[in-house]
Structure 1
């Protein structure tokens, strides 16, 4: 999602099966109350006139029906906060693609990898975080998926890397003969497979309790080879090695939680989830999940991370809460207004009426070429916070932004 606008991404969701996504999405429910003040109320809003539907209107302390799964989600989000952006591995990979996400169960790399034996291949797997990006078409379109998986022991991670490599790509039997193992130039422990016909390289590198999973795809070379009989390019081992290097270096700053201590991880240590509109039960809105990412982690969820990084730094964004939308915490009220005035600019978004009682909300309807875009988006500020919500239905997006505003206004 670029700058907080909602988008239904491609169904080729990376490193995610539907069950895992549903679990990661539903694991954090809410109830209770909290403390941090949101700032001075905007007097132009009339709370008594807000239509909030069945959404909560007061701050609520997050709880969960499944503490074990919740803890695994939180640990994976912690990984997201230290995980490199693809552009930090290769500066030409400037556009983030698909939805970076937590995964807890059977997953696949956009259908490239065989996950039929995932559970058998990964005993001791706890959770993971994945991100992906691609280069612009004029630079020769290629993509990089990068993920970190956490296991309960070093041995489990090492065994899983070897097992996942043996299972390999998701291919027909007659295509498997084309896949060849290749050797890293730098990391002898990395398990690498190369499919020259499809121009895919997959790598599994165990390091401590982690497995760094990398998938590189060169769609331009694949196209040239398929349609023009251009000889296949050599395996992009150097890029895979670079991904391992940068990701492993970031892992040095990460203190993994002992498996028996996971349940003790605080659900909302920074107090932003209690102010974030929670997703209703059964909600499957794309691009949304329940959890918190810091300034760096939230960049994984921006189409243009370089532009977003500059805005984050300018306005002092330190945390983003995710639920039935996004709640961005900036430096102060003035910074929130700057973010509000800068971030949500798109020539394909056309202003529509604000919801009743909330004239300071900015609502838009999308008219443009992206078929996956949510038709309705609304944004609003309160104190140091900026909220963004999206929906397929106008009434629902109105209710979401009104309820999110009410939560902030009711944080006394």
Structure 2
């Protein structure tokens, strides 16, 4: 179940991008590879790898082609680290439905297939000049006894604009949920919470220049259970929201866009190989921000902490920086974990330590059906592919993985 969504961003400013995360398993012989900090990987000569049309050397990451929306996405990526993980609210809600960087566009605010927030909200964000935002949704993956939690944080130009937007979101909800009544939340008497059936409820809260939107669905109509679930979410989200300091618009481009050069280590797009579905997400993230994209989020949260993963970058690949080589193998093991109906597939030619898998169900953010997870020193990279027609394996995934390995091997 989705909140609804789609529209087009209106405001002015600047631009940027970056990302990070973790996994591990020791494989191969104890041969030391030139450029590695320690043993544990099979020796590989990058010159012998088939990289196909992909670049094989690091490229500088610049903001030369940034537009206004690109600049605001920098702030959105930072905000993602302040968004509550739904499974921290309720351990039953671990199934990833969607995660988005929010802009005033019809791909976000639309009641159809592509949207995640109601189309009725689009005029609200447009005339209140939405600057940046983030959204995530998870469920218990049950059709008979659904539990669902969607949360969005939206930034507006001022406290007054946020208050106006919250009021208008509530009013716009009457268009598709008429007859709502208040839902009591213990400890939050002034919070605007409502439901029409005591099974699905809505919260709209203005806090400084931010608006918190949340939709919760419970298995049965129970106003007390619904209020309790909202309380759990607010108890976790409000402290995070209060610690979120908005970046002045003129300072957004001063935020670290390529911390420690991590974006140079990711596989960049080329005209022939670009996956445009990934463009909006390109950039760096902290561990919490990246967890919102992870299908195995509850398990990976612990692994990221234990492996010292401190930085994640997203480009045409997703790259995690861990504590050391041993931690990288551990993270690789977690990222390549097989679900009940997933299956392991062969490693790319010449890269025996890479672990690849075919997912039974494509991951929801980038629709990847096939994944390869490689380790190089402190770095773990995940490459994904939707496959060819009828879901068949696309061998260019192996070329992309080889290119990513080559880039890491050549980056100092």
TM-score with structure 2 setting the length: 0.78
Q: Report deviation, 1:280.
A: 4.4
* Structure 1: distance between partners of 2:111 and 2:297: 21
Structure 2: runs of 5 or more not aligned: 10-14, 19-34, 388-393
Q: Report deviation, 1:311.
A: 1.4
Alignment counterpart, residue 339 of structure 1, candidates 314, 331, 334? 331
Does 1:259 pair with 2:249? yes
* Structure 2: distance between partners of 1:270 and 1:47: 23
Q: Do the aligned partners of 1:96 and 1:300 also contact (CA within 8 Å) in 2?
A: no
* Structure 2: distance between partners of 1:75 and 1:353: 39
Q: Do the aligned partners of 1:73 and 1:127 also contact (CA within 8 Å) in 2?
A: yes
SS in 2 for 1:345: coil
SS in 2 for 1:360: coil
Moved more, 152-161 or 107-116: 107-116
Does 1:234 pair with 2:235? no
RMSD, aligned CA: 3.3
Between the two proteins, the alignment pairs up a number of residues equal to 371
Q: Report deviation, 1:323.
A: 1.7
Report what 1:83 is aligned to: 83
* Structure 2: distance between partners of 1:364 and 1:87: 25
Residues 242, 360 of structure 1: CA spacing in aligned structure 2 closer, same or farther, 3 A cutoff? closer
Residues 288, 109 of structure 1: CA spacing in aligned structure 2 closer, same or farther, 3 A cutoff? same
* Structure 2: distance between partners of 1:167 and 1:388: 41
Q: Do the aligned partners of 2:149 and 2:215 also contact (CA within 8 Å) in 1?
A: yes
Cα displacement string for residues 294-329 of structure 1 (whole angstroms, at most 9, x for unaligned residues): 222222222343321221122221122112221111
Cα displacement string for residues 156-179 of structure 1 (whole angstroms, at most 9, x for unaligned residues): 1111011111111663xxxx5443
Structure 1: runs of 5 or more not aligned: 1-11, 21-25, 30-36, 222-231
Q: Report deviation, 1:191.
A: 3.2
Report what 1:379 is aligned to: 373
Report what 2:119 is aligned to: 115
Trace 1:11-410 onto structure 2 (pairs within 5 A): 17=6, 28=17, 39=37, 44-64=43-63, 65-93=65-93, 95-106=94-105, 107-108=108-109, 114-116=118-120, 118-122=122-126, 123-135=128-140, 137=142, 140-168=145-173, 171=176, 176-182=177-183, 184-187=185-188, 189-196=190-197, 199-218=199-218, 220-221=219-220, 232-234=221-223, 236-280=226-270, 283-285=275-277, 289-346=281-338, 348-366=341-359, 368=360, 374-393=368-387, 394-410=394-410
